[in-house]
Chains A and B, each alone.
Chain A
Amino acid sequence: MTELVDEQLMLSYGQGDVKAFTQLYLRHKNSLYRYFLRQCANPQVAEELYQEVWNKLIKARSQYQVSAKFTTWLYRIAHNELIDYYRRTGTQSKWLDADNQDLETAEFADHNSKSDTEKLDQAQQAKQLKECLAQLPREQKEAFLLKHEADFTLKEIAELVVETTENIKSRIRYAVAKLKHCIKYKLETSNER
């Protein structure tokens, strides 16, 4: 049985088909939830923002038109909610310079550290990754999440956050580099103990 695409489901929901919304919700709920969870210090705040995004989508269902991908529309609402939250709470200072090329100033082990011969458990690495992700600058973190949670291309991310594709490419590159260093540093730290 062919699954309906997101846009068709949203249009159906706009016409009153609640089952279509249920399908849409189940399809995207986890990614969107983690998108907020990774970027908010407080899980409760993440839940509030997450719920608000769906509320706005529900309110706008009758006016929905297929002018872009559904996920672009969904995450644009989410992105704006996050920005508004940062402005309300004054947490913009948590940003770091997204285009910072000076990796040595970061709180990670430098690239000259001795190579590690031992492998950590993959589950542990995954846990460390989450911890490292939390330390990333906000814009790099968001770009990374939009790529790995919502499967957006660089161009789509650039359009969503109103940036150039080159900037997004740089942000993701630096995010990945920092994550590598961070994981490696944590690995070395745990080995030394």
Chain B
Amino acid sequence: MSDKLTRHDIASLYKRAATEQPSSQLDEQILKRAADDVTANKVTPINKPKRFYQTWHGQLSTAASLVLVAVLYVQNTEQYHQPSELINKPQILNDQQSQVAPEAVFEVMETQASEHAEVKLKHTLKRSASQMAAPQLKLQSMDTDSEFLKLAAITKSVANDFKVIDQLMIEGKTKVAKAQLKMLLTEHPELKAHLTDEYKKLQQDSGD
């Protein structure tokens, strides 16, 4: 049987022959050097994880949360203020140049509010704001439909009251008209500052 060594034989022989190892002293020197280098350079140990606020994503997410809260607060604050101001203090414009009777405007408002309360009433009120001569309501821009409806309801009620007062004045029932006006101004004292001369005169009249 011939001993013809194959490539595989050579590889096996070499693996059998490869038994040398570095001395333990040499091993210790190298391992010590590796440990000393870490100690000397004071690298952050990997077994001490950073806290959330020390990481970049922790800081970024905290900042983003604060910004979001601030934006939401500002937005909601504006919303809360505007509608409440409008509800509690409706402003009345006194347009001296317009000759349109206030009751005509309010009739339009009443009709359209019953049909398509929200959208048409808003449109009409905005249009009427530039044409009113008599006490009228000016609406600030409204953010929510529900707040708009509330204001529309109050506007309608006040408009009706003035309508009644006007009717009484036409009929010559000045005393009754004055009483109605007094009641209206008691409910809505803010209207006093914006009364036309006609209503101011009614207030001063002794009536019959």
Residues of A at the B interface (CB closer than 8 Å) are 12-18, 21-22, 25, 29-30, 33-34, 37, 47, 50-51, 54-55, 58-59, 61-62, 115-117, 119, 122-123, 125-127, 129-130, 133, 148-149, 176, 179-180, 183-184, 187
Which of B30-38, B53-61, B160-168 has 4 or more CB atoms under 8 Å from chain A?
B30-38
Q: CB-nearest residue of chain B relative to A117?
A: B1
Task: Compute how far the CA of A50 lies from the CA of B33 in the bound complex, rounded to whole angstroms.
Answer: 14
Is A180 a contact of B10 with CB atoms below 8 Å?
A: yes
- Which of the listed residues B1, B2, B3, B7 has the most CB atoms from chain A within 10 Å of its own CB? B3
Residues of A within 8 A of B33 (CB): 54-55, 58
Given A12-B46, A16-B44, A119-B3, residue A126 in contact with residue B21 (CB < 8 A): no
Is A184 a contact of B35 with CB atoms below 8 Å?
A: no
Is A126 a contact of B34 with CB atoms below 8 Å?
A: no
Q: Nearest 6 A-B pairs (CB), nearest first? A: A16-B43, A126-B17, A126-B16, A115-B2, A33-B22, A21-B34
Is B26 a contact of A148 with CB atoms below 8 Å?
A: no
Residues of B at the A interface (CB closer than 8 Å) are 1-3, 5, 7, 10-11, 13-18, 20-23, 26-27, 29-31, 33-35, 37-38, 41, 43-47
Is B26 a contact of A47 with CB atoms below 8 Å?
A: yes
Could you list 20 further interchain pairs (A-B, Cβ under 8 angstroms) beyond the known A25-B27, A33-B21, A33-B22? Answer: A13-B38, A16-B38, A16-B46, A18-B35, A21-B35, A25-B30, A30-B21, A30-B22, A54-B30, A58-B37, A59-B37, A119-B3, A126-B17, A127-B17, A129-B10, A129-B13, A130-B17, A133-B14, A148-B14, A187-B3
Is A50 a contact of B22 with CB atoms below 8 Å?
A: yes
Is B45 a contact of A16 with CB atoms below 8 Å?
A: yes
Task: Compute how far the CA of A33 lies from the CA of B19 in the bound complex, rounded to whole angstroms.
Answer: 10
Task: Compute how far the CA of A125 lies from the CA of B26 in the bound complex, rounded to whole angstroms.
Answer: 29
Task: Compute how far the CA of A63 lies from the CA of B72 in the bound complex, rounded to whole angstroms.
Answer: 46
Task: Compute how far the CA of A62 lies from the CA of B34 in the bound complex, rounded to whole angstroms.
Answer: 12
Is B34 a contact of A18 with CB atoms below 8 Å?
A: yes
Is B2 a contact of A62 with CB atoms below 8 Å?
A: no
Task: Compute how far the CA of A187 lies from the CA of B43 in the bound complex, rounded to whole angstroms.
Answer: 57
Which one of A18, A37, A180 lies within 8 Å of B5 (CB-CB)?
A180
Task: Compute how far the CA of A22 lies from the CA of B31 in the bound complex, rounded to whole angstroms.
Answer: 7
Task: Compute how far the CA of A37 lies from the CA of B43 in the bound complex, rounded to whole angstroms.
Answer: 34
Given A13-B34, A17-B46, A62-B41, residue A115 in contact with residue B3 (CB < 8 A): yes
* Shortest Cβ distance from residue B192 to the other chain A in the assembled complex, whole angstroms: 78
Task: Compute how far the CA of A122 lies from the CA of B2 in the bound complex, rounded to whole angstroms.
Answer: 15
Given A15-B44, A16-B46, A54-B33, residue A125 in contact with residue B13 (CB < 8 A): yes
